[in-house]
Structure 1
Amino acid sequence: MHKLIVLYPEPTDRAAFEAYYREVHLPLCAKLPGVQSISYSLGITPPGKGPYFGVFEASFADGAALGAAMSSPEGRAVEADVANYATGGATVITYPATAFPVG
């Protein structure tokens, strides 16, 4: 499994970020070839109280699948769209993940 994490610092306008993110950006992400799961959280800290406003996580079968997704036309559209809402920028982290059994 390979993970893609995006950390979003505080945006200029939280409401505008949230509306655009939910209505435009997440549907673009859902079209990424090979994406297995997507989760996100917004407003994870009160305004001005933490380094991050939001976090996004997507899972892929492996690094090759993630690379292919981000190199695809859909991946390029996702990447180009970030400037339309993330006024605070974004930090992208990718890594291989190993599941650990629980229970």
Structure 2
Amino acid sequence: MVKLVAIYRMPEDVEAFNKHYEEVHSPLAASMPGLLKLEVGRVYGTPMGESDLHLIAEMYFENQEALNNGLSSPEGRAAGKDLRGFAGKLVSMYFVEVV
């Protein structure tokens, strides 16, 4: 199993970011073919205090081929375009193998 992990830094307008993420971006991402599970967590701190992070999203796929197919699908391309538009400077993404 593999996952695509998106880590979002704290946006300037948290309320507007959350509204867009919940109403537009998350449904787009959830529509990708092959997606087994979408898990989103809101960062509320660290053991050392506050954090400059806001959300961590994990998108699970059966294997690398399914992940690549999901990302290259029309739904995956739409989610990517939306991501660049509202969070391009805030997000970093990683391919992760679940061990």
TM-score range, shorter chain: 0.7 to 0.9
* Deviation per residue, 1:66-98 (Å, 9 max, x gap): 001001111111111013332642100112112
Instruction: Report percent identity of matched pairs.
Output: 31
What is the RMSD computed on CA atoms of the aligned residues? Answer: 1.7
Query: What stretches of structure 1 move > 3 A for 4+ residues in a row?
Result: none
* Structure 1 runs not aligned, ≥5 long: 99-103
Cα separation, 2, equivalents of 1:62 and 1:87: 26
How many pairs are equivalent? 96
TM-score by length of 2: 0.88
Q: Aligned residue for 1:79?
A: 80
TM-score, normalised relative to structure 1: 0.84
Runs (5+) with no aligned partner, structure 2: none
Answer with 32-41 or 75-84: which moved more. Answer: 75-84
Aligned equivalent of 1:101: none
Give, in angstroms, the shift of residue 11 of structure 1. Answer: 0.5
